[in-house]
Amino acid sequence: MPSGQQAQVVAQMVSFVSEERFSGPIAHPRHLKEYEAICPGAADRIISMAEGNLAHAQDIQTLAIQADIDDAKAGRLYGFLALMALIIAAGVSAFLGNELMASAFLGAGVLGVVGQLIKGRGSNEKED
């Protein structure tokens, strides 16, 4: 191999070997230093931006979890109110002498509650 071509191959190998990759919420420390050299205060602004993004993501996650908790509480409340309405309707129907209708109201309430107890809490969770 001629010496000029050999030098070119060595230069390509050196550039290939020295290639590096970095992934993360902020720039590589060496890159931060270079940003700082070009624009004083840039490194602090970049780090502040990453901290702000992290705080925002945590706030969104907290809001999502709280919304799920609120939905579960509201569902239990509305389910209880529906069960009470069915029981009251069954009582009124029985008082008026319509046992068939009272049985239907009680049956719907019991089947709903028993069905929910059999399914359990785990079956209501969302699958990702």
pLDDT digits (tens, 9 = 90+) for 23-67: 778 888 888 899 999 999 999 999 999 999 999 999 999 999 999
Q: State pTM to two decimals.
A: 0.57
The b-or-e profile of 71-105 (16+ CB within 10 A means b, else e) is: eeeeeeeeeeeebeebeebbeebeeeeeeeebeeb
Percent of the chain at pLDDT > 90 equals 35
Domain range annotation of the chain: 23-122
pLDDT of 62: 96
